[in-house]
Amino acid sequence: MPTQDEFFMEQAIALAQQARTQGNEPFGALLVRGGTVVMTGENKIHTFSDPTYHAELGLIRQFCSEQRISDLSEYTLYTSCEPCIMCSGAMVWSKLGRVVYSVAHEQLAEIAGGSIMIGSAEVFAHSPHRPQLTEKVLNEQGLKVFDGYSF
């Protein structure tokens, strides 16, 4: 029986695959509060011609705007890949309670052919707010989304 983190990570990974199928980059995320998914998001940088429309940032922006809140301290964000520096910043500024990811930035850098970002733990370490971080949940399954993919 999967843990709660694994249960929600399976959904984030499925969203990443969906994003890839729709011609976007293979990243997906979901926001959870009290064991309930309150919003999902996927990378839509090609759909919207917006290089900042990452799964995590788009989800945080939309949810906070729709709910008219800016404090996500009671929420967990599950994401298929470790957040980039931009998305990690959004997590800091929204006071996100917890972030759980599957694929680490070092693994993504290897897939993409270079170091493409600073790890979220490093961003959080230098920030006024530090979300709790859980790493590499369903890592092998998360890596499969990138099979045959090139950036």
- pLDDT band for position 116 (50/70/90)? low
Tell me whether residue 56 is one of the annotated catalytic residues. Answer: yes
Is 150 a residue whose pLDDT tops 90? no
Cβ proximity of 100 and 76 under 8 Å? yes
- pLDDT band for position 115 (50/70/90)? low
Which of the pair, 112 or 69, is modelled with greater confidence? 69
Burial class (CB in 10 A: 0-12, 13-18, 19+), 93: middle
Cβ proximity of 110 and 74 under 8 Å? no
Residue pLDDT, tens place only, 5-63: 999 999 999 999 999 999 999 999 999 999 999 999 999 999 999 999 999 999 999 99
Q: How many angstroms separate the CA atoms of 70 and 79, rounded?
A: 19
pTM: 0.95
Pick from 138, 117, 131: nearest CA to 12: 138
pLDDT at res. 1: 79
Residue 146's contacts (CB-CB under 8 Å, 6 or more residues apart) are 26, 103, 108, 111
Q: How many angstroms separate the CA atoms of 124 and 96, rounded?
A: 11
Residue pLDDT, tens place only, 65-88: 999 999 999 999 999 999 999 999
The one catalytic residue in 25, 42, 56, 82 is 56
